[in-house]
């Protein structure tokens, strides 16, 4: 019984204090909110340790059992331990052990800038092809809604490039004034789509997310939602 009751009581107390501290930012509630934020950082440190240990356990087990693609586990563990040592011991840090882990010239910063950043750029470059493929399948004009989405996407893609001004100059040089005016209007139409319909949709999504967060927070504080307690939460 206590295994369920104590976590629920702690969740209720902490959640209530943080909500009150947000709406009453005065002593003692304001200070309590800051103190609980520090406690969260302390808990996060243990979570990182637990996550690192679990990472090692999973990949060491994969290597030991010779599972599929176990070679990638070696690369993962090697990168993990090298970056951990570089950041923990401040290897090559010009300011010594007390310096910032991201200081220029440190091994951690060099590895991050020379390996992680290019790999991240490569990943996003590859994602562009998947986005283009998905867009081709999604923007087929099968109905009115898909047609509107296709037209809006085409206008935005065209308006974010120098193409409209180049095409407008071409038509202006050819003496076709109305076509030049139409293509000069494309950037303005692009800004309107992004600032009005797109922004309205984003705000609607954010409001829905906020309502969902409030609902889930109340369920956690009141003890209705107990999935975080594990399999024996019922």
The pLDDT value given to residue 215:
94
- For residue 90, being part of any structural domain is answered with no
- For residue 156, being part of any structural domain is answered with yes
The pLDDT value given to residue 113:
93
Q: If we measure between CA atoms, which residue out of 137, 161, 140, 164 comes closest to residue 151?
A: 140
d(CA 199, CA 207): 12
pLDDT higher for 140 or 78?
78
The pLDDT of residue 121 is above 80: yes
Contact 172, 182 (CB under 8 A): no
Contact 29, 17 (CB under 8 A): yes
The pLDDT value given to residue 52:
93
- Per-residue confidence band for 141, with pLDDT thresholds at 50, 70 and 90: low
- For residue 84, being part of any structural domain is answered with no
- Per-residue confidence band for 139, with pLDDT thresholds at 50, 70 and 90: low
Handedness of CA 218, 222, 224, 227 (dihedral sign): positive
- Exposed/middle/buried for residue 17 (C-beta within 10 Å: 0-12, 13-18, 19+): middle
Least confident of 72-76, 141-145, 166-170: 141-145
Q: How far is CA 100 from CA 20, 59, 105, in A?
A: 36, 30, 11
pLDDT tens-digit map of 42-93:
888 898 899 999 999 999 999 999 999 999 999 999 999 999 999 989 998 8
Is-cis flag, bond preceding 28, omega within 30? yes
- For residue 149, being part of any structural domain is answered with yes
Can you give the residue range of the structural domain that contains 201? 139-218
Q: What share of the chain has pLDDT > 90, as a percent?
A: 40
- For residue 146, being part of any structural domain is answered with yes
Q: How many domains does the chain have?
A: 1
Alpha helices for 68-162 (secondary structure H): 70-88, 107-111, 117-138, 144-159
- For residue 48, being part of any structural domain is answered with no
List the structure tokens of 56. Answer: 């090692």
d(CA 30, CA 17): 10
- For residue 39, being part of any structural domain is answered with no
- For residue 162, being part of any structural domain is answered with yes
Per the confidence metrics, is the pTM higher than 0.85? no
Q: If we measure between CA atoms, which residue out of 47, 42, 108, 52 comes closest to residue 100?
A: 108
């Amino acid at each position: 019984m206590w295994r369920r009751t104590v976590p629920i009581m702690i969740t209720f107390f902490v959640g209530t204090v943080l909500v009150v501290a947000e709406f009453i930012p005065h002593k003692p509630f304001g200070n309590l909110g800051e103190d609980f934020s520090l406690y969260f950082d302390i808990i996060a440190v243990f979570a990182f340790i637990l996550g690192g240990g679990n990472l090692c356990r999973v990949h060491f087990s994969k290597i030991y059992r010779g599972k599929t693609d176990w070679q990638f586990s070696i690369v993962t563990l090697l990168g993990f331990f090298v970056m951990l040592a570089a950041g923990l011991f401040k290897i090559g840090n010009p300011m010594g052990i007390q310096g910032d882990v991201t200081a220029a010239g440190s091994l951690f910063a060099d590895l991050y800038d020379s390996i992680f950043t290019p790999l991240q750029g490569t990943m996003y470059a590859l994602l562009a092809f998947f986005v283009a493929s998905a867009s081709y399948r999604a923007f087929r004009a099968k109905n009115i809604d898909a047609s509107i989405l296709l037209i809006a996407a085409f206008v935005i893609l065209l308006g974010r490039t120098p193409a409209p001004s180049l095409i407008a100059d071409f038509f202006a040089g050819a003496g076709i004034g109305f076509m030049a005016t139409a293509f000069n209007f494309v950037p303005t139409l692009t800004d309107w789509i992004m600032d009005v319909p797109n922004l309205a949709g984003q705000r609607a999504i954010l409001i829905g997310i906020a309502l969902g967060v409030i609902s889930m927070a109340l369920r956690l504080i009141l003890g209705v939602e107990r999935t975080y307690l594990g399999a024996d939460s019922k």
